[in-house]
Structure 1
Amino acid sequence: MFVTVPLSFRRGATRSRRNRSTTRAVAVAAVVSASLGVLAAADPNALPGVNTGKTDQSTTDSASAAVAFTAFTLPEAQMPQTVPDAVVWEPNRLAAEARPRTVRPIAGVLTSNFGMRWGALHAGLDFADSIGTPIAAVTDGTVIEAGPASGFGLWVRVQQDDGTIGVYGHVNDILATVGQQVRAGDVIATVGNRGFSTGPHLHYEVHQGNGAPIDPMPWLGARGIAVGIAAE
C-alpha cells in the first residue's frame, strides 16, 4: 500500500536538513578559525598564504589581527625592560664635558695687570666695560661672600673648582647669593664703578687657599684663557 506524503511536508523536511547542514558548517568554520588564530600566534608563517620570502600587506594585517586575539603573551614580552645606569647617565656626562670649564669674566679690554702700582700691590686684573655689563663666573664653584667690601664698594667671592678664591670687585649689581652653586659662564654680577675706582670696570683676583693673591694671568692661561697684556 503506497503512502502519499504531501509536497509541503517534503519541502519542510528538506529545509530542516539543509538548516542542520548549515549549522554544522558554521561550527566547523569557527573551530578552524580559532585553530588558525592560535597557530598564527606560534608561527605566523603557518597561516595559508604567508610566504617567508615575500611580504604581502594584506596577509600581514590578517596575521597581526589573528595574533591580537590570542589568549596568551610570550614570556619575553612580559619581562620588565631596564636601561643600564651607564647608558642613562652618558648623555649627562657628555653634556657636562662639552661645556667650558673656564671662561673670561667679561669681554672688556684688559687695562691693568697684576703687580706693583703707585707703591702698592695691584692684586688682580682690571677689565674695562660699561656699567651693567654681565659678569660671568670664571669657573664652577660656590659663592662664599656677596656684599659690601672695603675699597671695592661691592664684591662677590667664589670658591673656585680648584680650591682658589675668585674675587669680583667694584660690581654694580650682585646677582648671586651666598651658598649658591655656580657654573662657568653663569652671570653673578654686573660691571660697576663703586669703591676706589676711576671708571667702570671689573677687578678680578685669584687667591690661594691661604689667602695670598696670585697673578690671574698665567692662572687663566694654564686653563686655556688668554686675556692679553695691558699697555699701562
Structure 2
Amino acid sequence: MARHRSPSGARPEPGELRPSQPTGSHRLPPPPSASLRGRITLAAAAAGAVVAAGQTMMTALTGPDVVPVAALLPVADTSTDAGGTDALGTDAIGAEQLPQGALRVGSLDGNFGPTGHLDPRSEVDVRNLTKAADIGQEIAKRTAVLRSALSDGAPEAKVIDGEAFVRPAVGRLTSVFGARWGVTHYGVDIANAIGTPIYALTDGVVTESGPASGFGMWVVVRHPDGERTVYGHVNRSYVTVGQPVRAGEHIADIGNRGFSTGPHLHLEVWAPDGTKLNPVTWLARHGIQL
C-alpha cells in the first residue's frame, strides 16, 4: 500500500526520513582584527570632532536654531566571495556581525578595490582626519574667545594668535594721531553721546582709574606684552586699579570731562617704553579698522 506523506508538523511514518537541515548557514564570522577596528574607530572619532566643532561654530554665528549636520561615514562591503553573495547568510543585526575578512572602505557607488584593501579613490587617511579634528578644536576655541569678547556688547572683535581685540566704542572718528592745532595729538577721538560704553581693547590689568590732568577722568590698562591703552575724558569708570579685565569688557563710559570740546573717547596706545603709538595703525594690525 502506498504511504502518504505526513502533513507539516505531523510525526513521520516509521521508516520515513526527514531531510537533514543545512548546517553552518547562519554561522557568524570572526570579527575584524584589532588594528582595523582601531583605524575605523579613530576615523569615526576624528570625523565626529570636526562635525562637533562645525556645529559649535555655526551655533555661535547663527544662534541655536541653526543646526548643521555632516558626517564622514565608512561604507562597508559585505560581500567577500567572488560571486558577491552575502557571507553571513542572514541580515546583520549588530556590530558584532561584521563581515568575514578585512573591512573595506569605499565610495557610495559600491566601487571597491581589491579584497582587503581600501579603494584608492576614497581612501581614509587617518592622519588627515586627525589634523582636521585639531583644526576643528582650534575653531571651537576661537569661537569661544570671540563670544567672550562680544558678550558685553562690543561692536566688533577679532582673534589674533589666540587673543581677542575689540573696537573700543561705537562712534564717529573725529580726530586722528598727529599734528593738530600746533601741537601733537597723541591719540584718536571717537565721538558719541555721554554714557556710550567703552570696552577694553584686549586682556590686561587696570593701572589707573580716576581723575587725571587734562583728561578729567581716565582708565589705563596694561596688557601682557607691556603695552598700555589709555581711555580719556570718561564720564564714569567701572574698574579699579589692580583689577584684571578681559578683551571687550565694559570698563567705562564716554564723557566730556577735562579739556574737551564735546563728548568723546580719547584713545591712546603706549609701547612698553612709553612711546606713544598711532592707535589707527595699532588697531589695524590687530584686525580692527576705525
Report the TM-score range of the alignment, normalised by the length of the smaller protein.
Answer: 0.5 to 0.7
Q: TM-score, normalised by structure 2?
A: 0.46
What secondary structure does 1:209 align onto?
Answer: coil
Could you say which residue in structure 2 is the equivalent of 1:219?
282
8 A Cα contact 2:206 2:241, kept in partner: yes
Q: Which residue identity does 1:153 align to in structure 2?
A: G
What's the counterpart of residue 113 of structure 1?
Answer: 176
Distance of aligned partners of 1:223 and 1:148 in 2 relative to their CA distance in 1, 3 Å threshold:
same
The residue that corresponds to 1:81 in the other structure is: none
Out of 268, 271, 278, the residue aligned to residue 205 of structure 1 is 268
Seen in structure 2, the aligned counterparts of structure 1 residues 120 and 141 have a Cα distance that, compared at 3 Å, is same
Runs of 4 or more consecutive aligned structure 1 residues displaced over 3 Å after TM superposition: 90-100
**2:227 alignment counterpart:** 164
* Equivalent of residue 243 in structure 2, options 161, 180, 189: 180
Q: Output the CA distance in 2 between the equivalents of 1:97 and 1:204.
A: 24
Residue 206 (structure 2) pairs with residue 143 (structure 1): yes
Q: Which has the higher contact order (CA 8 A, sep 6+)?
A: 1
User: SS at the partner of 1:151?
Assistant: coil
C-alpha separation in 1, matches of 2:93 and 2:249: 59
SS at match of 1:220: helix
Letter in 2 for 1:175: Y
Q: Aligned pair in 2 of structure 1 residues 126, 98: CA closer, same or farther (>3 Å)?
A: closer
Q: TM-score, normalised by structure 1?
A: 0.57
CA shift for structure 1 position 96 = 4.6
Pick the structure with greater CA Rg: 1
Distance in 1 (CA, whole Å) between partners of 2:143 and 2:243 is 21
Deviations 1:168-190 (CA, angstroms, capped at 9, x unpaired):
00000001111111111100000
Structure 1 distance, partners of 2:93, 2:255, is: 75
Deviations, residues 3-58 of structure 1 (Å, cap 9, x unaligned):
xxxxxxxxxxxxxxxxxxxxxxxxxxxxxxxxxxxxxxxxxxxxxxxxxx779xxx
> CA separation in 1, counterparts of 2:93 and 2:168?
65
Equivalents in 2 of 1:197, 1:97: separation in Å? 35
The share of aligned pairs that are identical, in percent, is 55
* Unaligned segments of structure 1, at least 5 residues: 1-52, 56-89, 228-232
| Equivalent residue, structure 2, for 1:63 | none
Q: 1:158 to 1:54 in 2, by over 3 A?
A: closer
- What is the CA–CA distance in structure 2 between the aligned matches of 1:121 and 1:106, rounded to whole Å? 23
| SS of the residue 2:282 aligns to | helix
Asked if the contact 2:225–2:272 (Cα under 8 Å) also holds between the matched residues in 1, the reply is no
> What is the CA–CA distance in structure 1 between the aligned matches of 2:142 and 2:281, rounded to whole Å?
28
Question: 1:133 is matched with which residue: 193, 196, 213?
Answer: 196
Partner residue in 1 for 2:186: 123
By how many angstroms is 1:162 displaced?
3.0
As a proportion of its length, which structure holds more helix? 1
Give the Cα separation in 2 of the matches to 1:189 and 1:95: 25
| Matching of residue 195 in structure 1 with residue 258 in structure 2 | yes
Root-mean-square deviation (Å): 2.3
Cα distance, 1:95 vs. partner?
Answer: 5.3
Aligned partner of 1:87 in structure 2 is none
